[in-house]
Structure 1
Amino acid sequence: MSKANRKPIYFLPIFTLLVLIDLYVGSIGDDVMRHFTKPLILFSLFVYFAINGRRLGKPTYPLMLTALFFSWLGDAFLMYDGISSNYFVAGLLSFLLAHVVYAILFFRKRNMPFSRAFWFVLTLLVLYGAFLFFQIQAGLGALKIPVIFYVAIILLMALAAFGRKGSVPQYSFNLVFWGALFFIASDSILAINKFLIDVPYSHLLIMGTYATAQYLITRGILVQENP
């Protein structure tokens, strides 16, 4: 294994520790400390990729950094969504932009043929998106249109992740596609908790799946050029 391939592995224990600290701080309701622990998760990923992803070149390198930046911005805004709904909308918009950038990044490595598996995954994603929306729509109020748009974009991002199958190493495909699915899981739990019912241990579930998603995608992009 080359040195370039070994270096990112050393980051995982640090990242895991940061996530565990944030999960603990969130579970005890220490909002002051969360102003430090939550942003550190994406900041660490940003630095990690900034150092290890330079060899990927343009446009992969700047696109990935942009997606991580918008994700970090979304995290920052959502910390204040209890103060005003405007912060939630700003967080939604930030993550929407992150998903758009991710989708562009994934589509660049798409495998052109539309196989049966592609259409099967597309159908499942659309059915799931429709099911989720109809479950939470009563609690959305004025956010119905923005949420519809957001759901469509995150599903498109996941479809773009699946579209990489066959054009990148299987390891990279698995990491990115599972990362996209974890992202959908995280956003689904967040939406259900906010607009439908209180989900037990919602903080642990949302942040755990979210951090996993971001790490898997980042790691998957880092190894996509490996033979």
Structure 2
Amino acid sequence: MTKILSATVFRWLFFAIVILDILIVNMGDSEYRLVTKPLILISLLAYFSINGKHLSKSTYYLTLAALSLSLMGDISLLFDNRSNQFFILGLVSFLLAHLTYGAVFLKRRNKKFPIYLYGVLLILIAIGMALFFYLKNDLGALTYPVVIYILGILFMACTALMRIGKVPSSSFLWVFIGALFFVASDSVLAINMFKFDVPWANVLVMGTYATAQYLITEGVLRQNKWVR
């Protein structure tokens, strides 16, 4: 009961931080975002580091690494208006985070992957290809980095799907839905950056991104049946 209450309290605190960050970015108070945006991942890192010690060491440390890389990406993108190098650093950080999450998910992959789910894998790949072809004429020098990034996030989403049947259903659903939120967040961000101004882009990007990170973190914590 204590664990469930702790998770519930953290959930409220976490999304309170997210809402505060969204309010601040919409008010244009960039200085305060230097605190609120990193605090999103810092809170998840603290939550996972305390509650994830029942997991195998490799899963525990790889997940911490993925969250830390995401934090590095968040901080880098806060300064992308000062130099393209910060944008590239953020892109690389999140790419490595996706690959690290994928390594976590592969540890619990179902080697007898249901045939009917290959259709879902094809849909995910089709979404990635459609996004690239939609953006390609506007990418310029970032064409190859964006292609590599799309492959990275598709790898993360596909490996999240491969956990089906090897972890409790709640763990599978939280992680896979979280991966889909990550795809949605990055898609909106890319369209807003390279194609046109998406209405309420800040709300959509940060809302889906924070939800993705929370669902993945909580889903990994739930992958041992006795945790909840």
TM-score, reference length from structure 2: 0.96
Deviations along 1:65-112, whole A, 9 cap, x unmatched? 000000000000011111111111100000000001000000100011
User: Does 2:89 align with 1:111?
Assistant: no
Q: Which residue identity is paired with 2:66?
A: A
Give 3-state SS (helix, strand or coil) of 1:56's partner. Answer: coil
Give 3-state SS (helix, strand or coil) of 1:109's partner. Answer: coil
Deviations along 1:108-156, whole A, 9 cap, x unmatched? 0001113223311111011111100011111111111111111011011
1:175–1:217 CA contact under 8 A, matched in 2: yes
Question: What is the CA distance between 1:5 and its match in structure 2?
Answer: 4.5
Q: Write out aligned runs for 1:22-33 (5 A).
A: 22-33=21-32
Identical-residue share of aligned pairs (%): 48
1:8–1:52 CA contact under 8 A, matched in 2: no
Question: What is the CA distance between 1:40 and its match in structure 2?
Answer: 0.3
Q: Which residue identity is paired with 1:108?
A: K
Query: Residue 148 of structure 1 aligns with which residue?
Result: 147
Q: Write out aligned runs for 1:1-227 (5 A).
A: 1=1, 3-227=2-226
Give 3-state SS (helix, strand or coil) of 1:80's partner. Answer: coil
Question: What number of residue pairs does the alignment pair up?
Answer: 226
> Unpaired runs of 5+ in structure 1?
none
> Unpaired runs of 5+ in structure 2?
none
TM-score, reference length from structure 1: 0.97
Give 3-state SS (helix, strand or coil) of 1:54's partner. Answer: coil
Hey, what's the Cα distance between the residues in 1 that align with 2:22 and 2:6? 26
Give 3-state SS (helix, strand or coil) of 1:211's partner. Answer: helix
Hey, what's the Cα distance between the residues in 1 that align with 2:170 and 2:202? 29
Question: What is the CA distance between 1:54 and its match in structure 2?
Answer: 1.1
1:132–1:188 CA contact under 8 A, matched in 2: yes
Hey, what's the Cα distance between the residues in 1 that align with 2:52 and 2:26? 33
